[in-house]
Amino acid sequence: MQPRGGYHRTTVLVLLRTAWSVVCAIVLVVSAVAWSTVSTISTGVERSYAIPDDAPRSESGRNILIMGLTTRLDLHGEPLPDDVLRRMQAGESDRGGYNANTLILLRIPDSGPAVAMSVPRDNLVPLSSGGEGKIKEAYGRAKIVEEDRLRAAGTHDRRALERAGREAGRRAQVRTVSAFLDQPVDHLVEISLIGFFHIAEGLGGVDVCLRGPAKDPLSGADFPAGPQHLDAGQALSFVRQRHGLPNGDLDRTRRQQAFLSAVAKRLEGADVTAVQAMVDMAKQDVVLDARFDLVEFARNIPAEVRFDTLPIEGGAHLGGLDVNKVDQEKVRAKVTELASAPPPPPPNDGVPCVD
């Protein structure tokens, strides 16, 4: 049976048209990856049980929640090597916490293009643990509570606390996003800051375009206007910058989308070395839910993915924090609209420029 979208299986390799969804799924399936390699990734990547077997599921298609964490630590809570931190230009290992600064609901339909919906990280929403907060905070708050509970019960092994705390964080983030959007979450993909760096590093950098020059000492961004090639450290600065941008965090969200789109373009001509780098990255930087079947995902991935950003109603200053005001009903209506009628495809005339 031919995979959907006209992909053809060769004796050794499956030639997949690299879609942005593949990149969002942390490049677990890329151009010229053998099915045997997909199976290797499937068994080698970290797994999470944050989505219980009896959780609500989509009646058609699938929803994948992609979470990008700010932590400068590895999957086990260990500090990254000093030379890596230096090349990342993202500060010391104790910075960043466990906020989910990138939140994307990737809707994979039964047919037609998929749609990736970015959820602005500063949206003020009800959190699954109770009360209101920025939607990005659900993960970190739940992690702290769980670790404190376990310490009080006598658990002091650092790795055990890290593992349990992060599982609690994933559960809270999934529940918070699911309730806010009124959408089931069928699968989750988690990647931390080092994963974005490893993606760009493995591909030898990415090509982007800026409408104007950008300089921000906090993120390390220092770029001229126009099209340009960024190395891994510069690419991380590009996706992290929010100060000095016309629309702040919303422009950073668009930069994240531009970065992932640029990665997709690079993967179209990736050689074996780059593909292997993606495989290695997945095994050290990515967490998937236990039911995520990568082989099945690779066989049925849509040929095209489009993306959009869910709406906000402006900013507010509450309790000393800058937050996004949201109309939950408008957001949910937008999710329904995008799921049924994805936005038009981007122009295919080179790298689109962003602020």
pLDDT digits (tens, 9 = 90+) for 50-80: 999 999 999 999 999 989 888 878 888 888 8
Between the alpha carbon of residue 314 and those of residues 117, 256, 324, 343, the distances in Å are 18, 20, 6, 22
The residues, any chain, with a CB within 8 Å of residue 175's CB and separated by 6 or more, are 128, 138
- Please give the pLDDT value at position 254: 82
Determine contact, residues 150/164, Cβ cutoff 8 Å. Answer: yes
- The segments of the chain whose pLDDT lies below 70 read 1-43, 89-96, 267-276, 278-279, 295, 298-299, 303, 346-350
Residue with tokens 């670790």: 147
- Please give the pLDDT value at position 94: 54
Dmax (CA) of the chain: 60
The gap from C-alpha 8 to its chain's centroid, in whole angstroms, comes to: 28
- Please give the pLDDT value at position 20: 33
Question: How far is residue 317's CA from residue 325's CA, in Å, rounded to a whole number?
Answer: 10
- Please give the pLDDT value at position 12: 25
Q: In the chain, which residue ranges form alpha helices assigned H by DSSP? A: 20-24, 35-44, 82-88, 137-152, 158-181, 193-202, 232-240, 249-268, 272-285, 294-300, 328-340
- Please give the pLDDT value at position 270: 61
Query: Could you report the per-residue pLDDT of 118-149, keeping only the tens digit for each?
Result: 999 999 999 998 899 999 999 999 999 999 99
